[in-house]
């Protein structure tokens, strides 16, 4: 297991946004985390990555307790993520956005940076080269020198993935990666996700678009912050409780 979540709970006043959630991620797999609007999916991501602190429960990454660690600490451990609303540097170029994300896992010391040593210059050159390779993989190389805020929605979403890959993650959390994309952009994004998994990265996906099920090895379904089902995509599609959660209690699952 690369990630283990046990009894994860988050209460906001009297509201339990996430309640006693338990699941795990097997190294190398794509796990889908799905559920209706307001089910608590993005809150789960925020709990895993230190954006907010759990009320109780435990998160273990590679066997190490990371519960409550700060965002930059989680990133340094090798967990990358995207957001529904991409926190890009709007006045940076596409390339500069990716380069900036590499700094979350720095390898140069302060003295090397301050004195502009050969080690530092070599490191910066290496970062540039790696950033360009990432942009080639995600299809953004041609706009590398354009401002991030001038890009269409689909490109900005893909830039968010590129920035997450710059952290060099072993575990990648993708929050609605294909939301608002056109069909061609969706096809490209699904291909990038498959390539990322093939490179050895474990992935957790939050998404409303059910095309994402094509990629998943397993799926966890939550509703009102609680897990209601877990299994293969086929098992989830045929699960009556999942159908009721998405389509309402009045829906006749036998017809």
pLDDT at 220 over 60: yes
pLDDT in tens, 124-133: 888 999 999 9
Portion of the chain with pLDDT greater than 90, in percent? 70
pLDDT in tens, 51-109: 999 999 999 999 999 998 999 899 989 999 998 877 789 899 999 999 998 876 555 44
- pLDDT band at residue 38 under the 50/70/90 scheme: confident
- pLDDT band at residue 112 under the 50/70/90 scheme: very low
Task: Give the CATH architecture of domain 3-91+160-247.
Answer: 3-Layer(aba) Sandwich (3.40)
CB hemisphere CA count around 56 (13 angstroms):
4
Neighbours of 243 (CB within 10 A): 15
- For 19, 44, 164, 222, 224, the CA distances from 231, given in Å and listed in that order, are 20, 19, 27, 12, 19
pTM: 0.87
Separation between Cα atoms, residue 28 and residue 50, nearest integer Å: 23
Q: Is 89 exposed, middle or buried (0-12, 13-18, 19+ CB in 10 A)?
A: middle
Separation between Cα atoms, residue 98 and residue 227, nearest integer Å: 35
- DSSP SS3 for 41: helix
Quick one: average pLDDT of 45-55? 95
Segment 120-127 long-range contacts (CB within 8 Å, at least 24 positions apart) = 127/99, 127/102
Strand partners, 107: none
């Amino acid at each position: 297991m690369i990630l283990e979540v046990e009894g994860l709970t988050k209460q906001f006043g009297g509201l339990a946004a996430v309640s006693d959630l338990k699941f795990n991620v097997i190294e190398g797999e794509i796990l889908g985390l799905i559920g209706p609007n307001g089910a608590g999916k993005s809150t789960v991501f925020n709990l895993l990555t230190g954006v907010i602190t759990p009320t109780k429960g435990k998160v273990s990454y590679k066997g190490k307790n990371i519960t409550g660690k700060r965002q930059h600490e989680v990133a340094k451990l090798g967990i990358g993520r995207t957001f529904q609303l991409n926190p890009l540097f709007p006045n940076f170029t596409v390339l500069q956005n990716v380069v900036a994300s590499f700094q979350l896992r720095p390898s140069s010391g302060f003295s090397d940076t301050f004195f502009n040593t050969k080690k530092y210059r070599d490191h910066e050159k290496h970062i540039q080269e790696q950033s360009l390779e990432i942009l080639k993989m995600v299809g953004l190389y041609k706009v590398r020198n354009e401002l991030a805020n001038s890009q269409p929605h689909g490109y900005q979403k893909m830039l968010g993935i590129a920035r997450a890959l710059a952290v060099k993650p072993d575990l990648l959390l993708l929050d609605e990666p294909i939301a608002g994309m056109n069909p061609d952009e969706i096809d490209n994004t699904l291909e990038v996700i498959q390539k990322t998994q093939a490179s050895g990265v474990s992935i957790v996906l939050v998404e409303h678009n059910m095309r994402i099920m094509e990629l998943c090895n397993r799926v966890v379904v939550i509703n009102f912050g609680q897990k209601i089902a877990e299994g293969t995509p086929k098992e989830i599609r045929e699960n009556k409780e999942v159908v009721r959660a998405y389509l309402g209690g009045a829906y006749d699952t036998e017809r």
